[in-house]
DNA sequence: TAGATTGTTAATCGATTAACAATC
DNA sequence: TAGATTGTTAATCGATTAACAATC
């Protein structure tokens, strides 16, 4: 009875990822069962919302008891697509790129860094973690001989669009864009681009913090 | 005619921050005027939405012409609160924390890193950028003698709640939480906590990329 | 003026939540 | 059974968008 994935609201997808993170914590601390109210409390949400979100998974709880943590984890991963491994490349090995490459959280959720690219000759050949930085020119060849699922784009703003287009052209289906400018997918490609900006997160927080006048 | 800030929808705030980023790019390339349609196209939005968002600013465009880039930048910054400088501390100087400390985008938007804290004795006294890492125990004293507006929390999951409570107790009004677990503000404090998780961004992208079955 | 684009309304669409029957 | 919690409905709330009068 799983809902077609397509119908799952974006907002629900985001919350499911947060539920997953909490559930994994709970599992590590030995918890086997959980109630919607408890998930809601941990995340500052409404328990109706949690139940409704979970109902998109197909997985069902037990009335009077709750949900099995393990089952919930598995079905969220199935819906998000993280029940399998994802091969990710890093494009742009500046300060941010280097930091992202070492971020443990990616691997923990099944995202494996399999390549690192830069266009700066001074960087090519040096290493980032266990990877050797390759010339961006080698991306097409690399993508042909390796399955690349996602690209993390962390180049300067003025290079972002051009590099994104190159990534698109080699057929990589998703780009997580950390460059501080929006990039567009060409209308002909199926590449999905998602924007992330850490400064924007701070700005949203700043807005919430400023005492509201009126 | 500015709307009371409180009434500006969360979704609008986020988009305003994205507009700001694009507008700053445009300004750098010498553009003085812009139309809602052009902003919308760059960001993949509807132009009605852009105009409606902008109408929350109070600032008005010129019918038949568009908006003045500089004016728009200023009024978005005023609404977001980034028309002034924000003093930010980093709590937790691991890999991610260290990377965040060097992130140029923060400073560009008026966020200044003024302190770095960790509880690991091996790190205390060493430097991150131009700052010396201090013991977390010194936070109360530091907060008393310096105005601290926001804290970036980048500690391991198991320490996050306890450290967040300490930050709260010294009266810092906002926490950007990069720890991979939700933390709660005590009901008595006014501290606002915003969650960010880079792995969750990848998961959202993964969901969008997986071919939708029905 | 003629052409263009804003500002805003009204309609639509989607997301949240209270409430409660179903049921473990 | 009695107590608890789910699953789901219906109502509410909020956000998006098409359309167009206002006006530069």
Out of B79, B108, B200, whose CB is closest to A18? Answer: B200
Q: Tokens 């994935």 identify what position? A: A5
Instruction: Report the half-sphere exposure of B66 (CA within 13 A, side-chain side).
Output: 15
Res B116: pLDDT = 98
Distance of C1' in C20 from CA in B130, Å: 60
C-alpha pair distances (Å), B68 with each of A45, B35, B53, B60, B144: 40, 9, 15, 9, 41
d(CA B161, CA B181) in angstroms, rounded, equals 8
β-strands B131-135, B127-128: how paired? antiparallel
Q: Which pLDDT band holds residue A1 (cuts at 50, 70, 90)?
A: very low
CB A168 within 8 A of CB B9: no
C-alpha pair distances (Å), B188 with each of A173, B169, B192: 46, 10, 12
**Contact (CB<8Å) A96/B96:** no
DSSP class of residue A84? S
Res A95: pLDDT = 87
Nearest CA-CA partner of B164 in B148, B181, B147: B181
Domain definitions of chain A by residue range: 5-79, 86-200
Q: Is residue A65's beta carbon less than 7 angstroms from any atom in nucleic acid strand C?
A: yes
Count CB pairs under 8 A between chains A and B.
Answer: 212
pLDDT tens track for A53-111: 999 998 789 999 999 999 999 999 999 999 999 999 999 999 899 989 988 899 999 99
Which CATH class name applies to A86-200? alpha beta
Burial (Cβ within 10 Å: 0-12, 13-18, ≥19) of residue A180: buried
Where do runs of H (alpha helix) occur along chain B?
A: 10-28, 36-43, 47-55, 69-80, 95-101, 104-108, 139-145, 157-169, 198-209
pLDDT tens track for A175-203: 999 999 999 988 788 899 999 999 999 99
N-terminal to C-terminal alpha carbon distance within chain A: 49
Res B146: pLDDT = 97
Which residues from chain B sit within 8 angstroms of residue A77, using beta carbons? none
Q: What angle do CA B113, A113, A187 make, to 5 degrees?
A: 90
Q: Which pLDDT band holds residue A212 (cuts at 50, 70, 90)?
A: low
Where do runs of H (alpha helix) occur along A44-156?
A: 47-55, 69-80, 95-101, 104-108, 139-145
Distance of C1' in C19 from CA in A16, Å: 24
DSSP secondary structure of B98-160: HHHHT-HHHHHTTEEEEEEEES-TTTTTSEETTEEEEEGGGHHHHHHHS---EEEE---HHHH
Burial (Cβ within 10 Å: 0-12, 13-18, ≥19) of residue B187: exposed
Q: Is B195 on the interface with A (CB under 8 A)?
A: yes
Number of CB atoms found within 10 A of residue B66's CB:
17
Res A211: pLDDT = 66
Q: Which of residues 117-176 of B touch A (CB under 8 A)?
A: 149-150, 152, 157, 173-176
Edge-to-edge order in the sheet of strand A127-128: A127-128, A131-135, A111-118, A86-91, A150-153, A174-177, A192-195
* Averaged pLDDT for residues A35-43: 96
Q: Is A31 on the interface with B (CB under 8 A)?
A: no
**β partners of residue B143:** none
pTM of the model: 0.93
DSSP class of residue A60? -
DSSP class of residue B7? G
Residue B113 φ/ψ region, left for φ over 0, alpha for ψ in the -120 to 50 degree band, beta for the rest = beta
Res B3: pLDDT = 55
d(CA A156, CA A142) in angstroms, rounded, equals 22
d(CA B31, CA B67) in angstroms, rounded, equals 11
Long-range contacts, B209-212 (Cβ 8 Å, 24+): B209/A81, B209/A149, B209/A150, B209/A173, B209/A174, B209/A192, B210/A5, B210/A81, B212/A4, B212/A5, B212/A6
d(CA B87, CA A187) in angstroms, rounded, equals 42
Instruction: Strand D: list positions under 7 Å from protein Cβ.
Output: 2-9, 14-19, 22-24
d(CA A11, CA B184) in angstroms, rounded, equals 21
Res A58: pLDDT = 86
* Residue A71 C-alpha from the chain's centroid: 21
What averages of pLDDT result for each successive group of 10 residues across chain B (214 residues)? 68 97 96 97 96 92 96 96 96 93 92 98 96 98 97 96 97 96 89 95 94 52
The fold of B5-79 is: Arc Repressor Mutant, subunit A (1.10.10)
Number of CB atoms found within 10 A of residue B11's CB:
10
């Amino acid at each position: 009875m799983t809902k077609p994935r397509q119908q799952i609201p974006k907002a629900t997808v985001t919350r499911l990822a947060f539920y997953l993170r909490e559930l994994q914590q709970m599992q590590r601390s030995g918890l086997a069962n959980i109630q919607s109210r408890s998930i809601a409390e941990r995340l500052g949400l409404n328990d109706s919302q949690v139940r409704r979100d979970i109902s998109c998974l197909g997985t069902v709880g037990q009335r009077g008891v709750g949900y099995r943590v393990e089952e919930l984890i598995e079905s969220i991963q199935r819906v998000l697509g993280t029940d399998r491994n994802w091969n990710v490349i890093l494009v742009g090995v500046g300060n941010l790129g280097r930091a992202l490459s070492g971020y443990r959280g990616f691997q923990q959720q099944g995202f494996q860094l399999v390549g690192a690219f830069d266009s700066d000759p001074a960087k090519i050949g040096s290493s980032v973690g266990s990877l050797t930085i390759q010339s961006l020119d080698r991306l097409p060849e690399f993508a042909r001989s390796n399955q690349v699922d996602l690209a993390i784009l962390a180049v300067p703003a003025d290079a972002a669009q051009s590099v994104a287009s190159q990534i698109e052209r080699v057929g990589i289906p998703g780009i997580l864009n950390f460059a501080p400018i929006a990039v567009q997918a060409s209308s002909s490609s199926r590449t999905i681009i998602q924007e992330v900006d850490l400064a924007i997160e701070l700005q949203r927080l700043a807005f919430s913090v400023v005492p509201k006048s009126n």
